[in-house]
């Protein structure tokens, strides 16, 4: 499991620094790690299902990042939607085990691809389960602003600032 999550993190960093060939090699390692998790946890109890889902989500997330970097927007969104679906069990846990990262990544991708209406809906869905998520509120404010909903964007930005008031300052820098 740790190999799949580690490969996802490494591969996302590689894509975001323009090292696509390395990210694709990392993806191959992630997919191998996913297969190992699926083989080792082939049962149907909650723990086995959770581990398989989390590993699958990690690989889908990395595939989505690679597709986004390669300017294959529809493929990126489709893979990230798979990551969100796979992460659901972990994100529904208390506390959320993956911190709704897959949903936020989907909304961020939608924004990056100029799909502000879709991003708004995705950020709002994240806020249902994480009502004071500074990341979701900040993204929602950007999505609203891009649609010309300036008053609601300003109000949402203020709400985000209130949410961040108690957060660790280093967390505020996520883009």
Per-residue model confidence as pLDDT tens digits over 36-52:
999 999 998 988 999 99
Provide the CB-side half-sphere exposure for 65 (13 A, CA). 28
Global pTM exceeds 0.85: yes
**Which are the contacts of 28, defined by CB distance < 8 A and separation ≥ 6?**
none
**Which are the contacts of 136, defined by CB distance < 8 A and separation ≥ 6?**
100, 104, 107, 123, 126, 127, 130
Q: Please check the confidence at residue 98 and state whether its pLDDT lies above 80.
A: no
Nearest Cα to 50, choosing from 100, 5, 93? Answer: 93
Tell me, what's the pLDDT at 2?
A: 86
CB atoms within 10 A of CB 105: 21
Q: Which of 46-60, 78-92, 146-160 has the highest mean pLDDT?
A: 146-160
Q: Please check the confidence at residue 92 and state whether its pLDDT lies above 90.
A: no
Lowest mean pLDDT among 21-30, 81-90, 97-106, 159-168: 97-106
Tell me, what's the pLDDT at 99?
A: 66
How far apart (Å, rounded) are the C-alpha atoms in residues 169 and 24? 33
Tell me, what's the pLDDT at 171?
A: 65
Q: Residue 127: which pLDDT band, with cuts at 50, 70 and 90?
A: very high
- 83-100: string of b/e by CB count within 10 Å (b at 16+)? bbebbebbbeeeeebbeb
Radius of gyration of the chain (CA): 17
Mean pLDDT of the 105-115 span: 96
Nearest Cα to 55, choosing from 13, 90, 107, 11? Answer: 90
């Amino acid at each position: 499991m740790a190999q799949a999550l580690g490969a996802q993190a490494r591969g996302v960093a590689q894509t975001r620094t323009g090292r696509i060939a390395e990210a694709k090699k990392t993806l191959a390692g992630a997919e191998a790690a996913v297969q190992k998790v699926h083989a080792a946890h082939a049962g149907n109890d909650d723990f086995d299902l959770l581990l398989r889902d989390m590993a699958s989500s990690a690989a889908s997330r990395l595939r989505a990042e690679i597709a986004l970097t390669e300017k294959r927007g529809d493929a990126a969104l489709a893979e990230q939607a798979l990551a969100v679906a796979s992460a659901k069990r972990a994100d529904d846990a208390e506390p959320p085990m993956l911190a709704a990262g897959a949903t936020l990544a989907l909304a961020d991708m939608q924004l990056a691809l100029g799909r502000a209406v879709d991003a708004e809906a995705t950020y709002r869905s994240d806020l249902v389960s994480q009502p004071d998520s500074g990341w979701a509120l900040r993204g929602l404010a950007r999505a609203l602003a891009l649609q010309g909903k300036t008053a609601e964007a300003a109000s949402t930005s203020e709400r985000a600032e209130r949410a961040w008031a108690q957060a660790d300052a280093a967390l505020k820098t996520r883009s």
